């Protein structure tokens, strides 16, 4: 009986050993697979956690960067507005300087042309006196029998001629509108007179001739007009 029990124990121990051996042989990597699988799960959880933390940390960073970009865009827009304003002021200043330059050139040209206007106006009185003097000399008295009067008349005529040449050389022209239409820009009417031979508004009398300096009237002609 004792021998039977020992034999049975040995037999069972051999069976258990064989079963364990068979399981290890059949499934030798099960424990390793289980460890690898658990390790992969842990790593996936760790990666997911790190990604969540990364997202949560990147969101405020992105918001800060967006704020900085918005500030830069605002500053850029202000700089563009300032640039446009300065360009507009610069162009206006250039235009104003150009207008001033043109006005100054025009004033210089006018000064060259009309700088002697006051002097010419004073000389007109001399021309009027000379003309009146030559007209007052009776033509029938200008003979060889009266040499003094003849010489005086010739001297006055020569002086008047020279003075008119000087006037012409400096752009001073006489205005003698006899039998011309009345022009208020060049003529000054002293009186109106009925005249059947001339249409109304015609200059029929020139009391004093006018003068113009380079197309600028410095003295209008004093005239009488028909009506």
Q: Which domain holds residue 72?
A: 62-111
The proportion of the chain whose per-residue pLDDT surpasses 70, expressed as a percent, equals 73
Average pLDDT over residues 180-191: 92
Q: How far is CA 21 from CA 8, 14, 92, in A?
A: 19, 10, 103
163 and 176 in a common domain: no
User: In the prediction, which pLDDT does 36 show?
Assistant: 52
Tell me the C-alpha distance between 25 and 20, whole Å.
8
* Structure-block tokens of residue 8: 């049975």
Neighbouring C-beta atoms of residue 63, cutoff 10 Å: 10
User: In the prediction, which pLDDT does 21 show?
Assistant: 45
What residues pair up with 48 in beta bridges, in sequence order? none
pLDDT digits (tens, 9 = 90+) for 89-147: 999 999 999 999 999 999 888 888 888 888 888 889 888 888 888 888 888 888 888 88
Q: Helices H, strands E: what count in the chain?
A: 4, 6
Please, what is the average pLDDT of the chain? 78
* CATH for 189: 2.30.22.10
> What predicted TM-score, i.e. pTM, was given to this entire model?
0.55
Q: Which residue carries 């509108």 as its tokens?
A: 177
Task: Tell me the residue length of the chain.
Answer: 227
Neighbouring C-beta atoms of residue 123, cutoff 10 Å: 17
224 and 189 in a common domain: yes
In a domain, 26, yes or no: no
């Amino acid at each position: 009986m004792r021998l039977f029990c020992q034999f049975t124990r040995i037999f069972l121990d051999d069976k258990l050993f064989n079963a364990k051996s068979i399981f290890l042989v059949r499934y030798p990597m099960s424990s390793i697979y289980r460890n690898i699988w658990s390790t992969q799960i842990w790593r996936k959880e760790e990666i997911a956690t790190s990604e969540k933390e990364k997202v949560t940390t990147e969101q405020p960073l992105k918001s800060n960067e967006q704020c900085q970009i918005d500030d830069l865009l605002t500053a850029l827009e202000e700089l563009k507005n300032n640039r446009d304003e300065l360009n507009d002021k610069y162009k206006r200043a250039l235009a104003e300087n150009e207008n001033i330059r043109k006005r100054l050139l025009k004033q210089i040209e006018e000064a060259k042309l009309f700088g002697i206007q006051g002097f010419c106006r004073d000389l007109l009185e001399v021309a009027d006196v000379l003309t009146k003097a030559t007209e007052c000399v009776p033509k029938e008295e200008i003979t060889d029998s009266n040499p003094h009067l003849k010489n005086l008349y010739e001297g006055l005529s020569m002086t008047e001629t020279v003075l008119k040449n000087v006037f012409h050389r400096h752009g001073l022209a006489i205005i003698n509108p006899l039998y011309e239409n009345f022009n208020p820009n060049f003529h000054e009417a002293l009186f109106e007179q009925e005249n059947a031979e001339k249409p109304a508004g015609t200059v029929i009398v020139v009391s004093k001739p006018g003068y113009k300096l380079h197309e600028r009237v410095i003295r209008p002609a004093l005239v009488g007009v028909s009506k």
